[in-house]
Chain A
């Protein structure tokens, strides 16, 4: 299993089941007609670190909650932070990777805040964070 596969599976498992968005957690693309709020995450940069002879990786991961209500989107961003920031294995958290790759640390970086218009007249709020995820092959 590759590092990105481990990352996406682990992040999904870490986020799914929240009372705000349920299991509506999607990597990269959200299917049509999904009830809001939902969470979408994607890698904006990263890959092999080349710091060690064995495989290692780091990723900049964007995770955001999407809602028609700003307050709900911001609440979602807070929940995302609580579920992911400092939750890697060496952080003492539950997002540890799998048998192929360990997620050593997850570090919260900058805020992601974006508003777009849908149906010509309704604002859609995207609120979340960027994280730096460090990984090593086992």
Chain B
């Protein structure tokens, strides 16, 4: 048993594996709005219930000059596809997140005068309930 600190991430977007171009971090978020369900005339404290769940995910991939054509066609904002994320690769039995998502924001490429790494910053928002989640114990 050990704390995970590897970068052996698996990322697939709309049928194209892209973790080979990934850099930085993967930021995955599952949120829920709360709904005020306070009732009765004598209430002294607000009562809430869970609203609708939402999933979002963002990460950066590099601009690979030799292999750009292999994945750039998938980087159109508004694309709806399946995003699969495995924090410990896609080895059988490892945790898996899979969800139909919409590519909501594509920023880049952004060359810099000091020759810094050129990247695409990608943000995804859920288009449906996930078919596999890490919290549910789903695996590859």
Q: Which residues of A contact B22 (CB under 8 A)?
A: 52-53
Query: Chain A: how many interface residues by the 8 Å CB criterion?
Result: 10
Which among A53, A105, A132, A134 is the interface contact of B7 at CB below 8 angstroms? Answer: A53
Query: Chain B: how many interface residues by the 8 Å CB criterion?
Result: 13
Query: In chain B, what residue has the closest Cβ to A86?
Result: B115
Query: In chain A, what residue has the closest Cβ to B114?
Result: A107
User: How many Å from the CB of A123 to the closest CB on chain B?
Assistant: 35
Interface set, chain B 1-41, CB cutoff 8 A to A: 7-9, 19-23
Q: Are A90 and B65 in contact (CB under 8 A)?
A: yes
> B127 in the interface, Cβ–Cβ < 8 Å?
no
5 residue pairs from A and B, CB less than 8 Å apart: A50-B7, A51-B23, A52-B20, A52-B22, A90-B65
Q: Which residues of B contact A54 (CB under 8 A)?
A: 20
Interface of A is mostly: loop
Inter-chain CB contacts under 8 Å: number: 22
Q: Which residues of A contact B23 (CB under 8 A)?
A: 51-52
> Which of B20, B21, B114, B117 has the largest number of chain A CB atoms within 10 A?
B117
Interface set, chain B 96-129, CB cutoff 8 A to A: 114-115, 117
CA A105 to CA B21, docked complex, whole Å: 18
Query: In chain A, what residue has the closest Cβ to B21?
Result: A52
B-contact bits for A80-117, CB 8 A (1 contact / 0 none): 00000000001000000000000001010000000000
User: How many Å from the CB of A97 to the closest CB on chain B?
Assistant: 12
Chain B residues in the interface with A (C-beta under 8 A): 7-9, 19-23, 62, 65, 114-115, 117
Q: Are B20 and A107 in contact (CB under 8 A)?
A: no
Which among B19, B65, B114, B117 is the interface contact of A53 at CB below 8 angstroms? Answer: B19
CA A90 to CA B22, docked complex, whole Å: 20
Interface set, chain A 62-94, CB cutoff 8 A to B: 90
Q: Are B19 and A134 in contact (CB under 8 A)?
A: no
User: How many Å from the CB of A54 to the closest CB on chain B?
Assistant: 7
Q: Are A53 and B115 in contact (CB under 8 A)?
A: no
Q: Which residues of B contact A50 (CB under 8 A)?
A: 7
CA A6 to CA B18, docked complex, whole Å: 27
CA A53 to CA B19, docked complex, whole Å: 8
CA A90 to CA B20, docked complex, whole Å: 20
Q: Which residues of A contact B21 (CB under 8 A)?
A: 52
> Which of A53, A54, A105, A132 has the largest number of chain B CB atoms within 10 A?
A53
Q: Are B20 and A51 in contact (CB under 8 A)?
A: no
